[in-house]
Amino acid sequence: MSILQILFFALSAFAIGSAIMVLISKNPIHSVLWLILVFFAISGHYILLNAQFLAIVNIIVYAGAIMVLFLFVIMLINIKKDSEPQKQFLVKLLGVLAGGSFLTLLVALIKQTAQIEGRQLLMKDGVIGLIHPLGKVLFTDYVIPFEISSVLFLSAMVGAVIIGKK
Amino acid sequence: MPIQYYIYLCLALFSIGVTGVLTRRNAIVVFMCIELMLNAVNLLLVAFSKMFHGLALASDTATTVGIEGQVFVFFIMVVAAAEVSVGLAIIVMMYRNTHSVDINFLNRLKN
């Protein structure tokens, strides 16, 4: 086993274990902290794939901004432990069964797909994940969506302020 | 690294997110599970972009085939940030009205 495979399996186990802990933590603050660990594991995967720009953006935007927003909201609304009644056991069991059968279905589907048989992906070679090629494409071919996304942010900001003021 | 490894990893993460949406009642945790699903899709997009880049790189060393996948991931992150700001504002407003973040209280939109 090469070092890349060892890193891949370690990061995957880390990501899946933390994701399961997000579900089974009773306290929402613990869920947020586990989710931050999932995002760090996914950033590690981006670095393995030599997508350095996305790795940094993932840490800054998701772990740095979005999860801090979640933590602020949880602290603002002061959830008491007893104020979140748990779902019935049957409903939980059915939810886990539905998710598990969804996973089984898709895995069986992927196993049968002939198009991806034996396809390898490039790990550390290739420059498309670096800032220079990505910025070039972003500001030539995708400059219109890039500008529209600034309008989207403005409208989201106005919407959040209006909803929060009521 | 075979592409199947990444597909199975992302399917597992996505299914965990689906299970969380189905089993939890706290609106904030449900929202976090949606973020988890978005991230699984992002990782799969990057993996496929590297797969197609590897195919094209064999014939042309200066190609940028597959870079669209990473640009899409960037835009998905942009949209997710906007979505989170509005969604959390809605959750805070809902908490002010009902003093709870239980999604079972959301089954009626009026009154």
**A112: Cα separation from own chain's centroid:** 27
What are the tens digits of pLDDT across the range A25-65?
888 899 999 999 999 999 999 999 989 999 999 999 988 88
A42 touches chain B (CB under 8 A): yes
Looking at CA atoms only, how far is residue B111 from chain A in angstroms?
16
| pLDDT of B107 over the 90 cut | no
If we measure between CA atoms, which residue out of B109, B54, B75, B59 comes closest to residue A118?
A: B54
pLDDT computed for residue B57 by the predictor = 83
A142 and A60 part of one domain: no
Domain B3-106, what architecture? Orthogonal Bundle (1.10)
Show Cβ contacts of residue A159 under 8 Å, excluding neighbours closer than 6 positions: B86, B89
Q: Is A149 in Cβ contact with B54 (below 8 Å)? A: no
| pLDDT of B106 over the 80 cut | no
A23 and A91 part of one domain: yes
B9: closest chain A residue by CA = A12
CATH code for the domain in which residue A23 is found = 1.20.120.1200
A98 and A157 part of one domain: no
Distance CA A159, CA A149 (A): 15
Distance CA B6, CA B27 (A): 29
- Radius of gyration for the alpha carbons in chain A, expressed in angstroms and rounded: 20
Selected for mutation to probe chain A from B14, B71, B90 (highest A CB count within 10 Å) is: B71
Q: Is B70 in Cβ contact with A53 (below 8 Å)? A: yes
Using CB atoms within 10 Å of the CB of residue A49, give its burial: 0 to 12 exposed, 13 to 18 middle, 19+ buried.
Answer: buried
- The torsion angles phi and psi of A87, rounded to 5 degrees, stand at -70, 160
Confidence of residue A86 (pLDDT cuts 50, 70, 90): low
A103 and A49 part of one domain: yes
Q: How far apart, in Å, are the Cα atoms of B95 and each of A85, B26, B34? A: 15, 11, 20
A86 touches chain B (CB under 8 A): yes
A28 and A70 part of one domain: yes
Average pLDDT score over residue span A4-32: 92
Of the listed ranges A5-9, A40-44, A56-60, B90-94, the least confidently predicted one is B90-94
- Under DSSP, the state recorded for A39 is H
| pLDDT of A83 over the 80 cut | no
- Do residues B27 and B101 make contact, with C-beta atoms less than 8 angstroms apart? yes
Average pLDDT score over residue span A86-113: 89
- Do residues A8 and B10 make contact, with C-beta atoms less than 8 angstroms apart? no
Selected for mutation to probe chain B from A121, A123, A166 (highest B CB count within 10 Å) is: A121
pLDDT computed for residue A150 by the predictor = 94
Distance CA A104, CA A81 (A): 34
pLDDT computed for residue A108 by the predictor = 93
Q: Where are the domains of chain B?
A: 3-106
Average pLDDT score over residue span A94-102: 93
Mean of all residue pLDDT scores within chain B: 88
| Residue predicted with more confidence, B61 or A24 | A24
Looking at CA atoms only, how far is residue B66 from chain A in angstroms?
8
Query: How many domains are contained in chain A?
Result: 2
A123 and A150 part of one domain: no
ipTM of the complex: 0.91
Give one DSSP letter per residue of A46-76, joined into a string.
Answer: HHHTT-HHHHHHIIIIIIIIIHHHHHHHHHH
- The torsion angles phi and psi of A120, rounded to 5 degrees, stand at -105, 150
Q: Which residue range(s) make up the domain with A138?
A: 130-166
Phi-psi region of A126 (alpha: psi -120 to 50; beta: other; left: phi over 0): left
Minimal Cβ distance to B36: which of A22, A116, A156: A22
- Do residues A62 and B77 make contact, with C-beta atoms less than 8 angstroms apart? yes
How many other C-beta atoms can be found within 10 angstroms of the C-beta atom of residue B30?
A: 18
A11 and A84 part of one domain: yes
A118 and A135 part of one domain: no
Q: Which amino acid, residue B39? A: N
A87 and A18 part of one domain: yes
Average pLDDT score over residue span B47-70: 85
